[in-house]
Structure 1
Amino acid sequence: MTNRIILSVVSLWIITSFIPIQDKPTLYLIGDSTVKNGSGQGADKLWGWGSILADYLDTSQVRVVNKAIGGRSSRTFITEGRWKSVHDNLQPGDIVLIQFGHNDGGAINDDFRARGTIKGNGEEFMEIDNLLTKRREVVKSYGWYLRKYIADTKAKGATPIVCSLVARNQWDGNKVKRSDYAKWAEEAAKQEGAYFINLHELVAEKYEKLGQGYVTDSLFLEDHTHTNRKGATINAQIVALALSLLQDESIPSLVK
């Protein structure tokens, strides 16, 4: 009898020793080059805010994994299998921060990138023979893809947070131009009951306070979309502050 108990205890120890224990939740970032530019190390002096965000979070409480990649839209991040690789690893208690929109306005079907989505947040779809992938594909709306990320994340017991796309350095007088994609992102988040950070508006307001001259000369290098490290730091600080205001029972204390 004693030997059986010892064997049972040893067997239990062997089994549990190989079960991974999550000591803290993972915050996954998914998005485009404004979240992670290139390798995320600033080799070209261009930075996404996701590469800076961990500096403003309490990494003893959360693990930050930046899975964003340049050039992707809400559609192609899925069709290339990148979302599956994140989704397969999601654990209850994890968080997914979602920011797409900059590349969703591109061509829906061409032999170059074929990454566009149908504008809006509806249920429209378009069947295409993809000139790039040589495959039949059903293309949905921008909002539909965001709602899929939200639903998939919730199904794994994780928490989705939608960010509207970070504002570009585009101006109309002394005001930063706003994008309809921010509105559609908010609609999708509300429809699926997800947290929402209006990063587009928050960044636009910050740029307006700093002024067009400073923003253009000090935060952007080559174009109106990609920031240098200083610009990415400003945007990461905005995201961190917004996360601190979202904290409740579903989102642990993340910010230092």
Structure 2
Amino acid sequence: MSLSRRHAAASLAALPFVLAATGTAEARPRRLCTVYIAGDSTAATKAPSAAPETGWGMALPFFLGDDRFAVANHAVNGRSSKSFYDEGLLTPVLAAIRPGDLLLVQFGHNDEKTDDPARGTDPQTTYPEYLRRYVQGARDRGARPVLLTSVERRRFDAAGNALPTHGAYPDAVRLLARAEQVPLIDVQATSLALWQRLGPEATKDCFDWLDPGEWPNYPDGLQDNTHFQPHGAIEVARLVARGLKDARVLAPNEVRRLDDAIPDSWITW
């Protein structure tokens, strides 16, 4: 066989083939996998008027392995599992999602606001009941649901120990994931460990702690222990991507940069 024919044969062998209706084999690209996010402000895409506030969903694409993946971030500020569903925000997600796509579901921060009947849920009853609707909606459409516990807030005791803030809500997600046999990414546990490792001062660079005049959107400065600056959003997205790999939702070659430094400048609004 000539060199040119060997090169042609090798190129054809590298292509994915499917059998066409005519019985002949033809090359087709792998279908795009869309990663949908249903969640609250900790994940949501932010407007320029909110910069430098950053949701971890904005950074997740940095860690997905190739151009076969796209992220559709439907997370919305201020929503709980209940209000997101009741306001019909899950409807366009389920209308668009396709077999093989992923639905990442992370609520809890606003579910804890039990004095607000539009958002508050009970971790033993209504919280898992609402989350189950997301799981079933994805499964009914051949998509793969993934449950996430709530990312932790920045809270430390006087000795510098990072403290959990979400009460019974993370355990409710863990129990539901086991009962429904849904992959779980325990972001509450992994983020709490990360904040512990960084400590009270370094975590200020992850959260919206801003000096007066540092950002024009916040001329008086800001001390927000819930929402992230770019660095924090990137690190939480890294936890999510590593969780997708560890839970075997994605293969090792479908994630990337898990141990690489990601510049904050990659975040844009």
Give TM-score scaled by structure 1 length. Answer: 0.76
Distance across 1 between alignment mates of 2:155 and 2:243: 23
Distance across 2 between alignment mates of 1:106 and 1:209: 29
Distance across 1 between alignment mates of 2:30 and 2:142: 14
Q: In the alignment, what sits opposite 1:135? A: none
Q: Aligned to 2:224, what secondary structure does the other structure show?
A: coil
Offset at residue 22 of structure 1 (A) = 8.1
Offset at residue 226 of structure 1 (A) = 0.4
Q: Which residue of 109, 119, 124 maps to 1:121? A: 124
The 5 Å alignment of 1:149-228 reads 149-172=134-157, 173-178=159-164, 179=166, 180-217=168-205, 219-221=207-209, 222-228=223-229
Cα shift readout 1:146-197 (whole Å, capped 9, x = no counterpart): 1111111111111010110000001234322222211111111111110001
Distance across 1 between alignment mates of 2:86 and 2:172: 21
Conserved? CA contact 1:32–1:72, under 8 Å: yes
Distance across 2 between alignment mates of 1:22 and 1:30: 25
Is 1:236 paired with 2:237? yes
Cα shift readout 1:197-250 (whole Å, capped 9, x = no counterpart): 1001100101101111211355332311001111111111111111122226xx
Question: Mind listing any 5+ residue stretches in structure 2 that lack a counterpart?
Answer: 1-20, 22-28, 210-222, 257-269
Aligned length: 212
Given the superposition, is the C-alpha separation of residues 210 and 82 from structure 1 closer, same or farther in structure 2, using an over 3 Å criterion? Answer: same
Q: Aligned to 1:102, what secondary structure does the other structure show?
A: coil
Offset at residue 88 of structure 1 (A) = 1.2
Conserved? CA contact 1:203–1:238, under 8 Å: yes
Distance across 2 between alignment mates of 1:218 and 1:70: 18
Conserved? CA contact 1:42–1:229, under 8 Å: no
Distance across 1 between alignment mates of 2:30 and 2:124: 35
Offset at residue 23 of structure 1 (A) = 2.1
Conserved? CA contact 2:152–2:188, under 8 Å: yes
Distance across 2 between alignment mates of 1:142 and 1:153: 17
Q: Which residue of 63, 71, 82 maps to 2:89? A: 82
Distance across 1 between alignment mates of 2:187 and 2:206: 20
Distance across 2 between alignment mates of 1:218 and 1:201: 17
Q: Which residue of 18, 25, 31 maps to 1:23? A: 31
Given the superposition, is the C-alpha separation of residues 43 and 247 from structure 1 closer, same or farther in structure 2, using an over 3 Å criterion? Answer: same
Q: In the alignment, what sits opposite 1:57? A: 64
Distance across 2 between alignment mates of 1:217 and 1:27: 28
Give TM-score scaled by structure 2 length. Answer: 0.73
Given the superposition, is the C-alpha separation of residues 54 and 107 from structure 1 closer, same or farther in structure 2, using an over 3 Å criterion? Answer: same
Question: Mind listing any 5+ residue stretches in structure 1 that lack a counterpart?
Answer: 1-11, 13-20, 123-140
Given the superposition, is the C-alpha separation of residues 42 and 240 from structure 1 closer, same or farther in structure 2, using an over 3 Å criterion? Answer: farther
Distance across 1 between alignment mates of 2:64 and 2:33: 13
Offset at residue 108 of structure 1 (A) = 5.3
Q: In the alignment, what sits opposite 1:136? A: none
